[in-house]
Amino acid sequence: MQQSKALSTCRNETYRTLRGLSLAAVLFPALLALSSAYAAGRDAGLETDRPPPQFSPLVDYHQHLASPAGVALLNRYPPVVALPPEISKVIEEMARHWNEPAALAPLYTQDALVLSNMAATRPGWARGRNESSQYVGTLFGSPYRITPIAFQSDGRVARMAGYFTRGEGAKERHFAYVLLELVKDDDSTWRIAAETRTFQPKPQYQETISGEQLVAMLDEAHIGRAVLLSDAYWFDSPSMIPPGQSDAELYAQVRSENDWTAEQAALSHGRLVAFCSFNPLKTYAVRELERCARGGKFKGLKLHLQMSEVDLGNPGDVQKARRIFAEANKLRFPILLHAQTKDGYDGKAAQTILNELIAAAPEVPVVIAHLWGGGPFASEPLAVYADAIASGKPRLKNLYFDVAEAALVAGGRPEVVQAIAQAIRRIGPDRILFGSDAVGPTTLPPAKAAAQFRKDVPLTAAEFADIADNLPSFMEAN
């Protein structure tokens, strides 16, 4: 029994014991030896009091943190709009009398219509002043305020859209949506004629995640290390940046986020390996690549074509992205690529990625993220990549694929998980890297992601074992 307990916890104990030692020389040989011992014990049928996960890869190759700056960027909501005083008074009275039906009644028209789908005994709509105010005045368990973000009026009819909100400052959270239609009654008083309140899915917020928190998640999953992908590409993504910012202002934010990621990795005692990121179309892209590659803090580069809005049908965009691949090749700097583009991610786009981008970096490992490149399951690009690997082209000798969120996207659909398994076999398990992706409201922590991948994808135990133990050169050297 003592032996079986040791086998079941050997990885986790090794990670803790070896912190502070020379991980480059010690950690991975030890982990590989202990992994073999663990596998031998498992295959011999040794029982344990607390069995380890069925699938516990050496490395999570696709992880992110959430910095304070990143959280502030992600959690931005539309700005508050000012309301005319007479409309603002109605909104304030609604919030003030949140649990008083009688006090709410005068705020509604005689023929008001209110969505009442949160009460099982109602047919979905409350009709009239009394029924509407009774429903609204008994709906909430605690006070709230209304945050308006859109308003329009023609002087007789007005519409206001906004959020139900609680908390102040950094703890402020919107928890539901509201749409009001107001009319000016015969007595020139504004009243609510129609109201829709929506609680699900509720507005989402990303909480901060530090390197220390991620390491704890890795311990839970019995995973030794993680490739930590900087979120700097958020800060120069056209879809996320405020209008009017110069490239110099964007670059300062990109550098800051990259450096924060490197600092978190440095605090992990070798558990986290940092990759920097940026928009490859920006004027400073090559400069930041060189800074990251030569500073010793980063082991590779993350590119996100979708967030950077790289158009693979635009020769200028392709040329700029190709230059980054070529420079990374010169600097011997590995690349992890979110290949999905904003529009038109198909077989032709995948061919462009292979023939124009990856071809420019034949001497460094390139990892296609999310198996097919990201987003919804994309059979055409996946087939192109699998065909290219099957052709045995020497220039693709360093091409890998991570499976971050592949099982999550598949959602257990038999035809999709079968297609994933078939593609993995065509590509070869030795080129497949486990990844789980960022921890957020709609994604899974490493332990759950590994369990889902192991449960849903129909591979053999030997194939899962091969994937679990894969170590590309950029990890072996650490």
Between residues 36 and 400, which one has the greater pLDDT? 400
Q: At what angle do helices 461-468 and 414-427 cross, to 10 degrees?
A: 60
Alpha carbons within 13 angstroms on the beta-carbon side of residue 129 total: 10
pLDDT tens for 75-111 read 889 999 999 999 999 999 999 999 999 999 999 999 9
Q: Are 173 and 190 in contact (CB under 8 A)?
A: no
Does 249 lie in the same domain as 146? no
Summarize pLDDT for 120-178 with one digit per residue, the tens. Answer: 556 789 999 999 999 999 999 999 999 999 999 999 999 999 999 999 988 899 999 99
Look at 236-240, 289-293, 391-395, 408-412 and tell me which has the smallest mean pLDDT. 391-395
Position 437 confidence tier, pLDDT thresholds 50, 70, 90: very high
pLDDT in tens, 463-474: 999 999 999 988
What share of the chain has pLDDT > 90, as a percent? 79
Same domain, 254 and 401: yes
**pLDDT tens, residue by residue, 20-62:** 333 333 333 333 333 433 343 333 333 345 566 789 999 999 9
Q: Which tokens in the block code for residue 31?
A: 């982990």
Mean pLDDT on 273-279? 98
Do 112 and 182 have their domain in common?
yes
Q: Residues with Cβ < 8 Å from 359, sequence gap 6 or more?
A: 395
Give the pLDDT band of residue 244 (cuts 50, 70, 90). confident
Report the pLDDT averaged over residues 209-234: 97
Residue range 170-212, pLDDT digits in tens: 889 999 999 999 999 888 999 999 999 999 888 988 899 999 9
Q: In what order do the strands lie in the sheet with 399-402?
A: 59-63, 225-229, 272-277, 300-304, 335-338, 366-368, 399-402, 432-433
Both 95 and 138 in a single domain? yes
Same domain, 143 and 29: no
The CATH number that applies at residue 425 is 3.20.20.140
In a domain, 243, yes or no: yes
| Residue 70 domain-assigned (yes or no) | no
pLDDT digits (tens, 9 = 90+) for 424-433: 999 999 999 9
The reply to whether 161 falls in a domain is yes
* Helix 446-456, helix 211-221: angle, nearest 10: 40
Would you say residue 3 has pLDDT above 60? no
> Is pLDDT of 112 > 70?
yes
Identify which of 390, 310, 307, 383 has the alpha carbon closest to the alpha carbon of residue 351.
383
Residue 259 scores a pLDDT above 90: yes
E strands, 117-213, in order: 125-127, 145-153, 157-166, 173-184, 190-198
Structural domain includes residue 409: yes
150 and 166 in a single domain? The answer is yes
End-to-end CA distance of the chain: 34
What residue type is assigned to position 253 of the chain? Q
Q: Using an 8 Å Cβ cutoff, are 12 and 58 in contact?
A: no
Higher local confidence (pLDDT), 35 or 372: 372
Residue 10 scores a pLDDT above 90: no
Q: What is the band of 394 on the pLDDT scale with cuts at 50, 70, 90?
A: confident
Contacts 24+ apart (CB under 8 A), 96-99: 97/137, 98/137, 98/140, 98/143, 98/144, 99/137, 99/138, 99/140, 99/143
pLDDT score recorded for residue 23: 34
Residues 186 and 288 in one domain: no
Q: Is residue 459 part of a domain?
A: yes
Q: What pLDDT, on a 0 to 100 scale, did the predictor assign at position 264?
A: 98
What does the CA dihedral 161, 163, 164, 168 come to, rounded to 10 degrees? -140
The two three-digit tokens of residue 89, written as one number: 């008074």
CATH number of the domain that 184 lies in? 3.10.450.50
Q: Which strand (E) or helix (H) includes residue 321?
A: helix 315-330
Q: What is the mean predicted confidence (pLDDT) over 399-404?
A: 98
Q: Are 313 and 344 in contact (CB under 8 A)?
A: yes
Domain boundary among 142, 163, 198: 198
Preceding amide of 381 cis, omega within 30: no
- Provide mean pLDDT across the span 216-227: 97
Percent helix / strand / coil, the chain, rounded to 5: 45, 20, 35
CA 135 – CA 129 distance, rounded (Å)? 10
| Dihedral sign computed on CA atoms, order 127, 129, 130, 136 | positive
66 domain residue, yes or no: no
Rounded to an integer, what distance in angstroms lies between the CA atom of residue 194 and that of residue 128?
A: 10
- The residue count for the chain: 478
Helix axes 315-330, 285-294, angle to 10 degrees: 20
Q: Which residue has the higher pLDDT, 250 or 4?
A: 250
Q: What is the pLDDT of residue 119?
A: 64
One domain for residues 380 and 267: yes
* 133 lies in the same domain as 154: yes
In this structure, are residues 331 and 289 in contact, taking their beta carbons and an 8 Å threshold? yes
Backbone angles phi and psi of 15, in degrees to 5: -60, -45
Strands of 53-207 (E only): list them. 59-63, 108-115, 125-127, 145-153, 157-166, 173-184, 190-198
> In the structure, what pLDDT confidence band is assigned to residue 295 with cuts at 50, 70 and 90?
confident
Mean pLDDT of 330-348: 97
Residue 369 has pLDDT above 70, yes or no: yes
Domain holding 213, by residue range, is: 206-476
Identify whether residues 324 and 453 lie together within a single domain: yes
What b/e string do you get for 164-197 counting C-beta neighbours within 10 Å, with b at 16 or more? bbeeeeeeeebebbbebbbeeeeeeebbbbbbeb
Report the chain's mean pLDDT, rounded to a whole number.
Answer: 89
Count structural domains, the chain: 3
What is the phi-psi region of residue 296: left when phi exceeds 0, alpha when psi lies from -120 to 50, beta otherwise? Answer: left
**In the predicted structure, residue 5 carries a pLDDT above the cut 70:** no
- Is residue 160, in this structure, part of any structural domain at all? yes
CB 281 within 8 A of CB 268: no
Cβ contact 93:107 at 8 Å: yes
- Is 115 part of any domain? yes
Clarify whether residues 239 and 114 are in a common domain. no
- Binning pLDDT at 50, 70 and 90, where does residue 361 land? very high
Q: What is the pLDDT of residues 319-330, one digit of tens each?
A: 999 999 999 999
Adjacent-strand bridge partners of 179:
161, 196
Q: What is the pLDDT of residue 387?
A: 97
Which tokens is 297 given? 């803090």
Residues 144 and 43 in one domain: no
Maximum alpha-carbon separation in the chain: 85
